[in-house]
Amino acid sequence: MPFTVRLHRVLKAPVDRVFRAFMDPDAMVKWNPPHGFTARMHAFDPVEGGEFRMSFTNFTTQETHSFGGRYLEIVPDQTIRYADRFDDPALPGEMVSTITFREVSVGTELTVTQDGIPDVIPEAACYLGWQESLGLLALLVEPEIR
């Protein structure tokens, strides 16, 4: 039975910078893969109806899993909603992720909801992967480098 994860994080960075990290393919491959993985972006068209394809490679085993999907909704600096699926038939079904961005006094409140995660993925592993990715996102967007 597919499941849903929900995450919340406050980042010490302005909304436009955090949003840009989701709209830039070079940024995505830097922060999106969890620890122990590298990433490659194969296609990236971040507009409503646009498609993306990406793969993660386990640095230890060198095993790669790829996935792709389409953007359902993009409201600059507010919302990104996309649907994606794994290429591996053992990981069936479509997942829908909704990312919301809200300006708060210290930066950006980020909320992530991912629905339809295949039940063969351990729920705790999914949460851990997202937490690692969001930690890497913070390392990218929070520094004030001039």
How many angstroms separate the CA atoms of 77 and 15, rounded?
6
pLDDT in tens, 18-67: 999 999 999 999 999 999 999 999 999 999 999 999 999 999 999 999 99
> Against a cut of 0.95, is the pTM above it?
no
If pLDDT is split at 50, 70 and 90, which confidence band does 92 have?
confident
| Residue-range domains of the chain with CATH | 3-141 (3.30.530.20)
If pLDDT is split at 50, 70 and 90, which confidence band does 2 have?
confident
pLDDT in tens, 116-145: 998 888 899 999 999 999 999 999 999 998
